[in-house]
Structure formats: C-alpha cells, structure tokens
Chains A and B, each alone.
Chain A
Amino acid sequence: AQSVTQLDSQVPVFEEAPVELRCNYSSSVSVYLFWYVQYPNQGLQLLLKYLSGSTLVKGINGFEAEFNKSQTSFHLRKPSVHISDTAEYFCAVKRAAGNKLTFGGGTRVLVKP
C-alpha cells in the first residue's frame, strides 16, 4: 500500500516570497507523483506530475517539483508567490499499474500582502 505525508499543514508566506511544500511518500512499487491545488469551494486542479525521466518537473502557474527517489520525496516550490496562490495543495501518488490516487492530508498556503 502507498502512503503520503505532507509535513506542513499550514504555510503562511508573504507575497513575492518563495515557498516550499514538503511531501514524502511510502511505496514498495513504482509510483507516479502528483501535486493538485484546490481553491476555496472548488475541485482539484492538476499542477504537475512526475512519471519518469528528469527529476525536476515544471507545472502550471510557475510551480515546480523535484523527485528524490532516495529520500522518497516530491517537494513543491515556487520562487515568488502571488495572493492568488492562496489555496490548499495536495500531494498524491498512484501505482504505475493502478488507477487509485492516494492523497496526503494537504497543506494550506496563505499568502499575505
């Protein structure tokens, strides 16, 4: 079985400052990794995904994430946040051979002016 741990439940950050959201996963088989964003009262939107190849993945809205197999991590970063980045962010894993997503508990990002 897979599991995902998002180490920070809340991350306050000032506008134009960088942010890093941490995600660690556990799995005995090959997995794909995802970051989704959920704006208030909305569904989930895919930010980026890691399937294979380059460990640095770029996504939408200026976000990027780095896959580290030895540390089983997939941390999300953005060099300069905007007020509009205020949302909840979810890290998720999926077995390469399956179709079920396993999510972490989420990290709430609050961008302050």
Chain B
Amino acid sequence: DAGVTQSPTHLIKTRGQQVTLRCSPKSGHDTVSWYQQALGQGPQFIFQYYEEEERQRGNFPDRFSGHQFPNYSSELNVNALLLGDSALYLCASSLAFRAGAFQETQYFGPGTRLLVL
C-alpha cells in the first residue's frame, strides 16, 4: 500500500523565482492538503484540494497556488519566492465521505525542503 509521496525531496531557489512541488496521495485517498513547516515551528495549513478545486485556504498570500489532477495528485506552486518561504512543505492526504465531510485522519508525506537564497 503506497503511502503519500512527494517530489522533489530538496530544492534550492533564489529570491523571485517560482517553484512547483508535487504530491501523490495515499492509495484510495482523494483529498490533498498542503502545510508549510518553518524551522522550529509546527506545520501551518496552506490549502486543501478536493474534486480538483481549492476547498479551504489558510492565511497565505496569492503567491501560493495549487492544482489537483484527475488522479488526485496535486501540485503546490509558489511565485516570486521570498527568503521567508524557506521551509519544509508537507502534503497530507485523506478521504472524503462527501463534499465538506472527511475521514478524521490525515496521512503525511516526507516533505519537500525548500531553501530560498
């Protein structure tokens, strides 16, 4: 049973560049959430995708955008990178009962560590 996978594992970018991170959910899951974990802090919710639409969003600027594909995989895009975007980006998957109702447990991938110079 494949768990949540993320790529790449590490990434180095410079300020102003754009980055795309990828996530494949756990087998059987249809909902993907993205979190940002700055060094020494707990993860912060960025947004969640279900049925190829952004369903819920945390307190992140529009520079952060995403996409979900028909196979439930997802991308996180960050434009105009800032030094403060350096963090571990975690993807979590879960299963929806229906729109707005989800199984209680989210399963996390290993993360993508982004360094912005």
Residues of chain A having any CB pair with chain B under 8 Å = 4, 6, 32, 34, 36, 42-46, 49, 51, 90, 92, 94, 96-106
Contacts and interface: CB of A to CB of B under 8 A. Distances in A.
A105 B42 contact: yes
A90 B35 CA distance: 14
A84 to B, nearest CB: 18
Given A46-B105, A103-B44, 5 more contacts: A49-B104, A99-B106, A101-B43, A101-B92, A103-B43
List the 10 closest A-B pairs by CB distance, nearest first: A103-B42, A44-B108, A99-B102, A43-B110, A43-B108, A100-B45, A43-B111, A105-B42, A32-B104, A103-B43
Contact of A101 (B41, B45, B111): B45
Tell me the interface secondary structure of chain B in the complex: strand
7 contacts: A92-B42, A96-B104, A97-B101, A100-B58, A101-B33, A101-B92, A105-B42
B68 to A, nearest CB: 14
A22 B41 CA distance: 16
A90 B44 CA distance: 12
B20 interface: no
Contacts, number: 62
Contacts of A34: 105
Interface string B88-101: 00101010000011
B56 interface: yes
Contact of B90 (A43, A92, A94, A104): A43
B43 A44 contact: yes
Contacts of B45: 100-102
B31 interface: yes
A99 B107 contact: no
A106 B41 contact: yes
A36 B108 contact: yes
Nearest to B42: A103
B24 interface: no
Contacts of A4: 42
